Amino acid sequence: MLTVIVGLTSALVYGAADFLGGLAAKRLSAITVTAIVALSGLVVVVVVGLPIVGGVWSPEAVLLGALSGVAGAVAIGLLYACLAIGPMSILSPLTAVVSAIVPLTIGLLGGERLGTLGYIALGLALVAIVLVGFTPPGRGELVRNAVKPSLTGVLMAVGSGTAIGIFLIIIDETPDDSGIVPLVANRATNSAIMFTLVGVLALIASRRGKPRGSVVPTALWLAIAGGVLDAAANTGLLFGVRLGELSVIAVLTALYPAGTIILAAIVLKERIAVLQYVGLVLAIVAGAMLALA
């Protein structure tokens, strides 16, 4: 039960963090937003998490944390980029389903076996990806008022989901006594990568004579808030995989689009087609079935 509570709580916090990051990426570049999120998350983990939780510093914990930081940089960068393109209510669930399938696939290849319910759930998840990611052609009630994702957005969402799955796999391998140390290494590596990219792109732009984009204060605070929430969700995820099975936590946290969709519907007034609603429901059902399996 505790694993389920941790997983679901982390999912909701992830959803809110992604919504804020996606909004910030509409005003700043996705790379800049990812860098700010990483740095603000690092500050939270070092200033708040490390003194309270602590952990044993070991080469394995630092190395795995750094590797997860690389995967996280790719995942969050692509995620914020696709959410900025939109629609959030479609691309966020697509990313989530893929992020759940990746750890499950690795587990199955490694010898884990699912029951009949689990395999049915995987089939439903694949159907959900198709329904959520694409809008059928034509007119009528099924597609009226539908928001249509672009191919670029869909590909970014799939790439982000894959990277998130890899992040989960790496985090699951961290030593149990390492506490929050892997997250410190994660955020430090993530920050270094993203700010290096920001510097390189700024240098290229200046040499080409292109004006530098101004930092919008609202977007900056949105990114910082997203980083704080993302760090909190990552902390929950870290302890979740130590409490229970990776497959269960992966699927539970993959329900994070619920938070993103709710906020997108309230704030952005996004609307989706009936078939896309069916896809969202199937994704949630598949997640619940995988958790039970």
For position 283, what pLDDT does the model report?
72
pTM recorded for the entire structure: 0.77
pLDDT of residue 140: 42
Tell me the per-residue pLDDT of 4-55, one tens digit each, with 9 for 90 and over.
Answer: 778 778 888 888 888 898 888 888 887 888 889 989 999 999 998 888 888 8
Q: What are the residue ranges in the chain where pLDDT is below 50?
A: 135-136, 138-145
Residue 57 confidence (pLDDT): 92
Kindly state the percentage of the chain with pLDDT values over 90. 20
Per-residue confidence (pLDDT) for residue 139, from 0 to 100: 44
Report the 3 state secondary structure along the chain: CHHHHHHHHHHHHHHHHHHHHHHHHCCCCHHHHHHHHHHHHHHHHHHHHHHHHCCCCCHHHHHHHHHHHHHHHHHHHHHHHHHHHCCHHHHHHHHHHHHHHHHHHHHHHCCCCCCHHHHHHHHHHHHHHHHHHCCCCCCCCCCCCCCCCCHHHHHHHHHHHHHHHHHHHHHHCCCHHHCCHHHHHHHHHHHHHHHHHHHHHHHHHHHCCCCCCCCCHHHHHHHHHHHHHHHHHHHHHHHHHHHCCHHHHHHHHCCCHHHHHHHHHHHHCCCCCHHHHHHHHHHHHHHHHHHHC
- Would you state the pLDDT for residue 287? 66
Instruction: Quote the CA–CA distance of 90 and 143 in Å, as a whole number.
Output: 14
Residue 94 pLDDT: 79
Its domain, for residue 275, covers 2-292
Give the separation between CA 280 and CA 282, rounded to whole angstroms: 5
pLDDT of residue 112: 67
Distance from C-alpha of 15 to C-alpha of 265, rounded to nearest angstrom: 13
Give the span between the Cα atoms of 274 and 137, in whole angstroms: 13
Domain count within the chain:
1
- What percent of the chain is modeled with pLDDT above 70? 85
Nearest to 230 by CA among 3, 79, 54, 41: 41
